[in-house]
Chain A
Amino acid sequence: MSGVWLAIDTATDIASVAAGRAPAPEAGAHVQGARRHAAEIIRLVDFTLGRLGLAPRDLEGIVVGDGPGSFTGLRIGWAAAKGLAQEAGLDLVAIPSLMAAAAGAAVKLGQAPVAAWFDALRGQVYAAVYVFHADRVETVLAPAVMTPDEFADLATLRPQVVAGDGAARYADAARRWSGAPPVAPDALAPAATMLLSLLGREGTARAIDDLTTAEPVYGRPAEAQARWEARHGRSLPDPTRPSR
C-alpha cells in the first residue's frame, strides 16, 4: 500500500479531488459549476492519481465529503467514491463538508471557533461551528439547517469568522454574528485538500462500514417526504430503501 488517500468533495458548486499521505495533499484539482460535477469527477480523479502515478488499487482509502450540501452534488461525489471503493476494495470514510470549509478558514486563526455556512436555499443555511486543534476537532455545533439568524441565536460561542457560499450569500448576517467579513468559497483551499488535512484527527471521520447502504448526510429530507410526513404525522417507511 502506498499510504495515499484520495479525497473527494462535491457538496457545493466546486467539485474538488486531492490525493496524498494525510495530512499533506500531493496532487489535486477542482472544477467550478455544479452542472459540471458529473462529467468531470472521474476526470478529476484520473488527473490527480495520474500526477502521482497511481491507480485506484494503489490507494489506502477514500475520504469523501459527507455533506450536508447540494443533494445532487453529494450523490455525484458519493457515487464516485462508492464505485471506486467497492471495485478496488478500499476503505471509505466520510468527513462533514462543512468541517472542511471551516478548516480552510481556520488555517490562519488557530484554535478559535470557526463557522461554515452552505446555502441551503429557501432562506436557510446548512451550518456548523468547529474548533480545530492539532490532534482533534471539536464540534461546537453539529451540522444543522436553519436561517442564518436562527443559527446565530442558537450558537453559544461566537465564531471568529463564517466561511462558505452561505456566508457569502448572507454576508450581512455573517458579519453581524462573527464581527468579521465572511470568507467566500473561492478564498478557501479546495475542500478535498482540507478533507485530507483533517484525516486522522480525532472527531472528524465517520467510518463507512457498510458500503452497500451508506449515504451522505443530506441535511434535510426530500421535500415530498417532508410534506407527506407533515400531512400523515408519521415517518415515511424507510424512504431510501427499496422494499424488495
Chain B
Amino acid sequence: MGRFPLTLRSVESDDTIHPHTRSRHAGLLEKIREISGIDVFRCIQCGCCAAGCPTSDYMDYTPAQWMKLLQIGCFSEIAESRGVWTCASCFACLARCPRGIDLAKVAEAVRQIHLRKGLDQQDPARIPEETLRRVPQIAVISCFRKFSS
C-alpha cells in the first residue's frame, strides 16, 4: 500500500529541502486550513478513519495516509491519487476520529485546490447516455459538485 516509506520529517524544518519548496508546502497547508478549517498536524495517525471508511478498499491512499502525506509535503501525490476522489463524503471518518478532525473537509479542500486549477475530474459531455438514463439526477448533480469546478 502506498508508494512512499513514511518518514517523520517536517518539510518546513528540513534544511535539505529548497526554501521555495518549503514555503510552497506551508502555503498549501495554509490553503487546506483556510478551505477546510483543519490543521493536518492535529492527526495522530490512529487509523480509525481508514478503518471505518466505506470506500477505503478502493483507495490507493486511505484517509489516515492522506493526513500523513500532507504533513510531509506530498500534496500532489494525494491530489493525483484515487483516494480523495473515491471519498463519498459520508462523514464516517469525522464520526470516529478521536480528535474530531473532519477528513471529509480535508478531502474536499484537496479536491478544490486541484479543481480550481481547471483540472476537472468529470466532463459532463463524456458521461454515457446510458448512465444519464439510469441514475437519478441527484447523483449526477452531486458528481458535478464534487468532481468539477
A and B assemble together: no
Binding site for B on A (CB under 8 A): none
Binding site for A on B (CB under 8 A): none
